[in-house]
Chains A and B, each alone.
Chain A
């Protein structure tokens, strides 16, 4: 089996906060992988280490067969990235953003291809709109379109459905499934359990920067049923709470 991502002993701290602690896991190519965890679990930090945006303190990251510490630029060109806190260029219309980002990936889209991409995320009518003229959900979808400008092999989506309405969420699920069917590897983070269940081949449960469990959603449910028999099948949500506890989490 080839791996799209292979991580060994990855750690990252912000001052005294240990955001990622000795993380090791692999994501098979073509798989949709979900990182599940409460707020502050270290999901976004983990992604930023896999995207070459931050340097880990310890550990090794191999992405698409290349060691990230030595080949960051080369790897970045093959990744699609949607960040949690959407950050679009303020004074460029949607279509312009798509065309510009393609260039930054060394690609050249013609207008029709760029419009196609906007259509894919339901923004064809907003091609001329500035980010400030888009709703939060629309901005998020534009960020998603930008994550696809380079026809990426590996796509990172950080809480892609947070703040989306039910229609937009279902459309995003469809898009994720299409991307998977096209043979791409996807890594998405979420704290919506049903989303992980619906989309992911494998789920990692992360808390306090540590990976508490990693398996298919069905296997995780099975493990809990065996460990704490209740006479009925537990939900993935119960698995999640079993691993992460019930204490309040800060945003």
Chain B
């Protein structure tokens, strides 16, 4: 009845197959995918409406915040990931997956890859929307290079989503925990001009992963250049990714 190939296979194959299927599932569940696009698009349009410079020379708030919102789009992918993982745990999906010979950790990785790919596609859509529909300035070459930064950012915030999922008993708790920790980090990390932040908070900014994403993304999108010292944010994001993933793996329960 069944036809199949030999079963010996490298570990990455089921990971990639699972990621492919989950990417497809993300498209099938287009409501969730569209909903997570809503927040960044809404913010972008809002700043565009209220933040256009009144006179030449004023700060163009929409143009200023545009790269940060593109970055925010990949960060929000971690929230979707966290909710999906908690749902799988509470609904017993993991239980069935754990009965297969593919290790659960590989499946989580596959799901993370799929969500990361979706988030990067979403971020590029926000970028295209801002440039084409709102006429915000984007450096074409920098937009291509931004893919690398978005990939790095999505890894960090997927790892954070994983940690949030490990700590949350319910999906709505995971969702709130993620968003209410992300938003302050977002506004301290480049979402708002540093000058309007209270002085006592400014020293925190350079240490935030949101700042690191924005430090890389802003000059790339505006002028197609990297910051003068790109090593600090790149290494910072890599360290965050590894640290958060390790913490999450330690706390993770599929049941």
Contacts and interface: CB of A to CB of B under 8 A. Distances in A.
Interface of A: 51-53, 73-74, 76-77, 79, 81, 83, 85, 87-93, 96, 99-110, 113, 116-117, 120, 130, 143, 146, 149, 151
A100 B3 contact: no
A130 B28 contact: yes
A88 to B, nearest CB: 7
Interface in B1-25: 1-5, 7-9, 13-14, 17-18, 21, 24-25
DSSP majority for the A interface? loop
Output the residue of B3, B4, B14 with the most chain A CB within 10 A.
B4
Interface residues of B, number: 33
Contacts of A103: 13-14, 17-18
A89 B94 CA distance: 9
B3 A146 contact: no
B7 A106 contact: yes
Interface of B: 1-5, 7-9, 13-14, 17-18, 21, 24-26, 28-29, 87, 91-103, 107
15 contacts: A53-B98, A74-B101, A77-B101, A81-B99, A83-B96, A87-B91, A87-B94, A88-B96, A89-B93, A96-B24, A99-B21, A100-B17, A103-B18, A104-B107, A149-B2
B24 A92 contact: yes
A88 B93 contact: yes
Given A96-B24, A103-B17, A104-B14, A91 B99 contact: no
Given A92-B21, A100-B21, A113-B1, A79 B92 contact: no
Nearest to B27: A91
Contacts of B95: 53, 83, 85, 87
A152 to B, nearest CB: 10
Given A83-B95, A89-B93, A105 B5 contact: no
A158 B97 CA distance: 16
A76 B96 CA distance: 11
Contacts of B7: 77, 105-107
A73 B103 contact: yes
B24 A101 contact: no
A109 B3 CA distance: 6
B12 to A, nearest CB: 12
Contact of B9 (A106, A110, A143, A151): A106
Contacts of B92: 83, 85, 87
A91 B100 contact: no
Contacts of A81: 96, 99
B24 A151 contact: no
A92 B25 contact: yes
A89 B26 CA distance: 12
A87 B93 contact: yes
Given A96-B21, A109-B2, A104 B102 contact: yes
B2 A113 contact: yes
Given A92-B21, A104-B18, A73 B1 contact: no
A105 B5 CA distance: 11
A133 to B, nearest CB: 12
Nearest to B8: A106
A91 B4 contact: no
B96 A87 contact: yes
A55 B20 CA distance: 31
Contacts of B103: 73
A76 B100 contact: yes
**4 tightest Cβ-Cβ pairs between the two chains A and B:** A87-B92, A91-B25, A106-B7, A77-B101
Contact of B4 (A76, A89, A108): A108
B203 to A, nearest CB: 44
B125 to A, nearest CB: 20
Output the residue of B14, B17, B87, B99 with the most chain A CB within 10 A.
B99
A53 B99 contact: yes
A107 B21 contact: no
Given A113-B2, A113-B3, 18 more contacts: A53-B95, A53-B98, A76-B101, A77-B7, A89-B25, A90-B87, A90-B91, A96-B21, A102-B4, A103-B14, A104-B97, A104-B101, A104-B102, A105-B7, A105-B100, A105-B101, A106-B7, A107-B4
A21 B219 CA distance: 65
A52 B103 CA distance: 12
Nearest to A116: B1
Contacts of A104: 14, 17-18, 97, 100-102, 107
A76 B102 CA distance: 9
